[in-house]
Every structure is written in structure tokens, then in C-alpha cells.
Amino acid sequence: MGLTAAAPVDKPETATPLLLVDKVSIEYKTRDRRVRATHQASFEVHDGERAILLGASGCGKSTLLKAIAGFIPPTEGRIEIDGQPVRGPGPDRIVVFQEFDQLPPWKTLRQNVAFPLLASRKLGRREADERAMHYLDKVGLSAFADAYPHTLSGGMKQRVAIARALSMQPRVLLMDEPFAALDALTRRRMQEELLALWEDVRFTLVFVTHSIEEALVLGSRVLLLSPHPGRVRAELNAHAFDLHSQGSAAFQSAARRIHDLLFEPAPQPRAELAAA
């Protein structure tokens, strides 16, 4: 197992990707200048994969996730879901952010999870309530269904946010550093719960993090983004690692290799063109 150039790994070459990100550049304006957050980022995610976008702060990984969600239009390039271009937000892509206070405080947990199902008119009230209870049970919170968010810990609020996202049965679950603000023990427990939930439901995950260790334990495939502006520099097949691998020599070796690759100087565009 090793790092490779940024090309598809760990999947049949003939398989059609669920998510396609093709040469996506994203720019935004400040008062003084135009800033390029990502530069021709390209990758694919297949059904049931756990794809991790890993990079240092400021490399554009959260911006790229927002573009996949449809919140930000790419300056150039294309993003497709099931072969269809992404032109805005949609129920096929649901985002879980880092902030704990994503839940309306006047609604119970059951009502919070059911709300997007009712608002989107996907289900009637009874069916929405049944699905809300189903996913609260999946995240271990069915006993708190009638509690209000202010009574929950940060980790419990994140579990409700995950239940709410999964209740919409999206094609892709997008998570933007959802555990970064948690203490170490709660973060570990949330990682365990996310992996257990994936084993049960087998959703497709795109997860943003700046933690090399988190990327290796949660991902089936890790996409390494270069420093600003972000582009996918390499990929790693991470199937061999899990939460029990962190003390192993292979895990530590992979983490060191990723660190070295993430922070080595990026190739100059002219040299890349010459090599091509």
C-alpha cells in the first residue's frame, strides 16, 4: 500500500462514479484582489466509498465541499452527481457542519430530524416521524426523541445532525470537519459511531479534515490536497486502517508519508506542462 499520483484507485476502472469533480477551480473576490481557493481539482467518488479530503488549513477543502453541495459555483470545471451537473443545493447532497448549534432549539430531537422531510414534502407527517425515529435509533438517541437540543452534549447534537442528514437518504453525505471542536474522547467515540453507522447503512461519504490520523481511520480512500490553492496531489487506499490501527508501524509510516507529501513544495505549473 502506498501513495500514488492523483488518479483513481481501489475501484474498477469501468465503474461509473457517483460523484465526479473534474478540473474544478474556485475563486472569490476580496476588497483588494481575486483569490483562487482551488486549482483544477479532480477526483471521483464511487457509491459506498468513504472519501476523505485532507489538507492543511486554507487549502480550499471546505470550499470544495461547499461547491459539491451546490452552495458555490465553480469558476471553471464541472461537478456531477450520477452524471448530472450540480447547479445548486439538492436533497441528493446533505451537509453536516462543524457547528453544534445546527438544530432549532424549540423543536424536539424527533421534530428536528423530521423537519426537512416535511419541508421538502418527501413524506407525510406520520411517515416522517417514523423515519426520524428510525435514524435516531441508528445513532443511539431514540430514548431522547422528545428532549430539546439545549439538554444535549456537543457530541449528542452532532449525532442528531447526522441522523437528520441520513433521514433524507442523500446520494452523498458531506461532512465538514464535524468532530474538530469536540474533546479527544468524544471525537474518538464519534468516529467509532460514524464507522458503525456506515457499516449498517453503507452511505457514500465525503469527509473534510485536517487531521492525518482521522483521515486514515475514517477513510476508505484519502485525497491529499496541496496547500493554497488546493488541488488533488495524491491518493491513498486506506482500507487497511481502522481505529485500532493507530499504534501500528504501518499506520505511523503512512501518516509520516502523508505529512511529508502534504507539506513538500508543490510542483510548478510550467514543469508539469513540460512533463506532460
Rounded distance between C-alpha atoms, residue 194 and residue 192, angstroms: 6
Amino acid at residue number 137? D
Mean of all residue pLDDT scores within the chain: 84
Measuring CA to CA, which residue among 40, 46, 86, 49 is closest to residue 66?
Answer: 86
Taking the domains of the chain in order of start, what are their residue ranges? 19-92+171-263, 104-169
- For residue 64, CA distances in Å to 25, 129, 161, 225 come to 9, 33, 21, 11
**pLDDT tens track for 139-157:** 889 999 999 999 998 888 8
Q: Which three cell numbers stand for residue 235?
A: 491518493
Reported as a single tens digit per residue, the pLDDT across 26-82 is: 888 777 778 778 888 899 999 999 999 998 777 778 889 999 999 999 999 999 999
Residue, of 14 and 202, whose pLDDT is higher: 202
- Predicted local confidence at residue 113, as pLDDT: 93
pTM of the model: 0.83
Mean pLDDT in residue range 86-98: 88
Distance CA 61, CA 69 (A): 12
DSSP 234-267: EEEE-TT--TT-TTSHHHHHHHHHHHHHHHSPPP
- When pLDDT is averaged across residues 187-208 and rounded to a whole number, the result is 90
| CA 142/CA 52 separation, integer angstroms | 29
Is the bond into 85 cis (omega within 30 degrees of 0)? no
Q: Which listed CATH number (3.40.50.2030, 3.90.1150.10, 3.40.50.300, 3.40.50.620) goes with 19-92+171-263?
A: 3.40.50.300
CA–CA gap between residue 12 and residue 116 (Å, rounded): 35
Q: Do 163 and 194 meet the contact criterion of CB atoms below 8 Å apart?
A: no
Query: What is the DSSP-derived secondary structure letter of residue 18?
Result: S
Least confident span in 5-19, 59-73, 106-120: 5-19
CB 62 within 8 A of CB 176: yes
Each residue's pLDDT tens digit, 223-254: 998 877 778 888 888 888 878 888 888 888 88
**Closest by alpha carbon to 132, among 107, 152, 154?**
107
